[in-house]
Amino acid sequence: MRVTDIERLIEERRSELIKLNQKKELLDKKADFRSRALLILGSSIFIGQFAFIMSGTFMFYSWDVMEPISYVTMLGNFTVTMLFYAKYRNEMQLTTLREMIAQKFARGLYRRKGLDIERVEKLK
């Protein structure tokens, strides 16, 4: 091979990498947005549970009625959290959780949009 052929090949690969990186960045932004939205939804569920228990205790019913409901709610939250931890076995920090969810969404988006992530890594 000549030097010009190698330079042309390098330039082709570089332009392909630039295009794939642009597509990957766009999909990563979408995945990050979805993960943030999911975490906001999850947080609002916890806030809703708290508001429901407080309003049920002090406004509508009494603690005698709301106590078993709050225990079952806590058990459900604990069970879901432990199942999540057993599946992923990562630290339970909010940033780590967001990154894990974003990576999962990103892998799905890569698959649906036909982005070969192995090709991107190989070109890098």
Element (H, E) at 66: helix 63-88
pLDDT in tens, 9-42: 888 888 888 888 888 899 999 999 999 999 999 8
Residue 119: closest CA among 33, 4, 34, 23: 23
pTM over 0.85: no
Percent of the chain topping pLDDT 90: 38
Quick check: 8 and 99 in contact, CB under 8 A? no
- The residue ranges of every structural domain in the chain are 3-123
Quick check: 28 and 106 in contact, CB under 8 A? yes
pLDDT of residue 93: 67
Residue 38: closest CA among 119, 103, 86, 91: 103
pLDDT of residue 89: 75
* Residue 109 structure tokens: 């988006």
Collect all residues with Cβ–Cβ distance below 8 Å to 37 and sequence separation of at least 6.
none
Task: Give the other-Cβ count within 10 Å of 102's Cβ.
Answer: 21
The Cα–Cα gap between 35 and 28 comes to 10
The Cα–Cα gap between 77 and 69 comes to 12
